[in-house]
Structure 1
Amino acid sequence: MALFRETADVSVRPAVPGDEAPMTRVQVTAWRDTHEVALGDGVIDALDTDAMQARWAQAITSPPGPGFAVLVALDGPDVVGFAAVAPGQLLALEVHPDHQRGGHGSRLLAAAVDRLRTDGAEQIVTWIMDDDTARERFFSSAGLGPDGTERVLATGVRDVVEHRWSAAV
């Protein structure tokens, strides 16, 4: 007999020590799924996941200042996504590919915007890599749009263009 939950056991909460390992797994898996071609051959494989995990641990336990926060999306007890904010900025928002289209990204974005508002932000800014149409659709549906600003990131294999998107909060 199948066991069904009447309501989904999903939530968003502030990240806590121990979340850095699943966050790093989510990030690497999501980047591999979405950005591997754009970043170039071998870039994802060359990531230092131990260093990434250490940086997330530091961001969780010792944010660099006021207005910085890390949030995680949970499906039951499992971390399936995360968002990181700085004053006025959404630095990162990733959901594991196996858990996308389940509302985790929307819950993370809503929680991130609430945090930014609480910290006095009047605008949200984030960056979207060239050709990431799924992310563009997601942020567009949430009311963000490109503001014409671009930046170029060097991956060691090729340069990657990112576009800044923003909206009033």
Structure 2
Amino acid sequence: MSDFGVPEPANLSDLSGATPIAETSVRLALPAEAGEIGEIQVAAWRASYAGLLPADVLADLNPAQFAAQWRAALLAPGEARNRVLVALADRTLVGFAAVTPSDDPDADQQRDALVAELAVSPEATRAGHGSRLLNAVVDTARADGFSRVTAWVNSTDDVLRAFYTEAGWAPDGAHRELDLYGDESVRIKQIRLHTDPGTE
């Protein structure tokens, strides 16, 4: 049986020598998908911030709270160039990305876009979904008239930094420290990467 209850031909795997690969796509998110986006964000944060944040803080992350924020953003995006994209494997949402005009102090909001979030479900990594999302982000930024796209990456996250640099992104020299609790008890250093989306 497939994931959707549709029986598969018994000899499909035998003919190809492998399990059929799910169709993949990226498109704009729908407000009804906010719950799935919240679940993916919490799962991704728990994976990427393990060792940086206390375990009890990560355990307390509430997907419903994230979902409510995403639902509000999708229903009333404000700026027309605020975009949320989702990656699908067949009909299953496996990742998402949010791109917006950059609010960095040195940014030109007409020219500079920011990848505010890019996350793939931990169970769906290494399947190309992140790369498809990143390509779609750059294409969307280009279509929206941006001439630069930026993203902040934790300085210790070598895997995420490599993901961006292998896609042609590079550090632009900017860095910052996040004071997560406002009391300087947990500070996270980040560097900014950027790319030129080019022209159509």
TM-score by length of structure 2 reads 0.79
Superposition pairs of residues 8-157 of structure 1, within 5 angstroms:
8-87=22-101, 88-156=113-181, 157=185
CA contact (8 A) 1:39 1:160 kept: no
Structure 2 unmatched ranges of 5 or more: 1-9, 14-18, 102-112
Identify the residue that residue 189 of structure 2 maps to in structure 1. Answer: 161
* Number of residue equivalences: 169
* Residues 2 and 44 of structure 1: CA distance in aligned 2, closer, same or farther (over 3 Å): farther
Q: Which has the higher contact order (CA 8 A, sep 6+)?
A: 1
Q: Deviations over 1:59-81 (max 9, x none)?
A: 21211212100000011111100
Q: Give me the whole-angstrom Cα distance separating, in 2, the residues matched to 1:23 and 1:51.
A: 11
Letter in 2 for 1:61: L
Percent identical: 35
Q: Give me the whole-angstrom Cα distance separating, in 2, the residues matched to 1:143 and 1:20.
A: 30
CA deviation after TM superposition for structure 1 residue 140, in Å = 0.4
CA contact (8 A) 2:177 2:187 kept: yes
CA deviation after TM superposition for structure 1 residue 47, in Å = 2.5
* Residues 96 and 7 of structure 1: CA distance in aligned 2, closer, same or farther (over 3 Å): closer
Runs of 4+ more than 6 Å apart: none
CA deviation after TM superposition for structure 1 residue 48, in Å = 3.7
The structure whose residues are more often strand, as a share, is: 1
CA deviation after TM superposition for structure 1 residue 139, in Å = 0.1
CA contact (8 A) 2:42 2:62 kept: no
Q: Give me the whole-angstrom Cα distance separating, in 2, the residues matched to 1:3 and 1:81.
A: 28
Q: Give me the whole-angstrom Cα distance separating, in 2, the residues matched to 1:121 and 1:97.
A: 30
Q: Deviations over 1:38-68 (max 9, x none)?
A: 1333222232432211111112121121210
Letter in 1 for 2:49: H
- Alignment RMSD, CA only? 1.7
Q: Considering only CA atoms, is the larger Rg found in Structure 1 or Structure 2?
A: 2
CA contact (8 A) 2:86 2:95 kept: yes
Q: Give me the whole-angstrom Cα distance separating, in 2, the residues matched to 1:7 and 1:41.
A: 35
Letter in 1 for 2:193: W
TM-score by length of structure 1 reads 0.92
Q: Secondary structure at the match of 2:50?
A: helix
CA contact (8 A) 2:86 2:97 kept: yes
CA deviation after TM superposition for structure 1 residue 7, in Å = 5.6
